[in-house]
């Protein structure tokens, strides 16, 4: 049995790492895919794109927060699916 404090620390580290990934890596991927699919961004490149995301975050825009938190939310979704799979996959008791 693991210590609850260790679980909280591990979860906090996971949250921070995935938050940083959502803040630093995901906008780069979105910008590059958008650039390839749709062409040039209407602003002055990635810097202005990233600045727009940061200003929306500071303004409390729900979509911007969803974007940044989405890596962590995906991990949580897979955890819940795994738990549901375990709970429903048990053989009936006789």
Q: Where are the domains of the chain?
A: 4-87
pLDDT of residue 16: 97
To the nearest whole number, what is the mean pLDDT of the chain? 90
At residue 90, the pLDDT reads: 67
When pLDDT is averaged across residues 13-34 and rounded to a whole number, the result is 95
Residue with tokens 């938050």: 19
Give CA–CA dist 74/35, Å, rounded: 25
69 or 45, which is more confident? 69
Distance CA 32, CA 47 (A): 12
29 pLDDT above the threshold of 60: yes
Which residue, among 23, 3, 26, 27, has the nearest Cα to 15 in the 3D structure?
23
CA distance 41 to 18: 26
- Per-residue confidence band for 77, with pLDDT thresholds at 50, 70 and 90: very high
Residue 41 to residues 64, 70, 74, Cα–Cα distance (Å): 18, 23, 27
Q: What is the pLDDT at residue 45? A: 86
């Amino acid at each position: 049995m693991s210590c609850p404090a260790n679980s909280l620390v591990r979860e906090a580290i996971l949250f921070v790492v995935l938050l940083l990934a959502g803040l630093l890596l995901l906008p780069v991927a979105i910008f590059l895919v958008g650039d390839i699919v749709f062409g040039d961004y209407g602003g002055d490149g990635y810097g202005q794109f990233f600045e727009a995301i940061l200003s929306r975050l500071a303004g409390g825009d729900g979509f911007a927060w969803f974007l940044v938190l989405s890596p962590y939310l995906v991990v949580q979704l897979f955890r819940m699916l795994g738990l549901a799979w375990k709970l429903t996959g048990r053989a009936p008791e006789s």
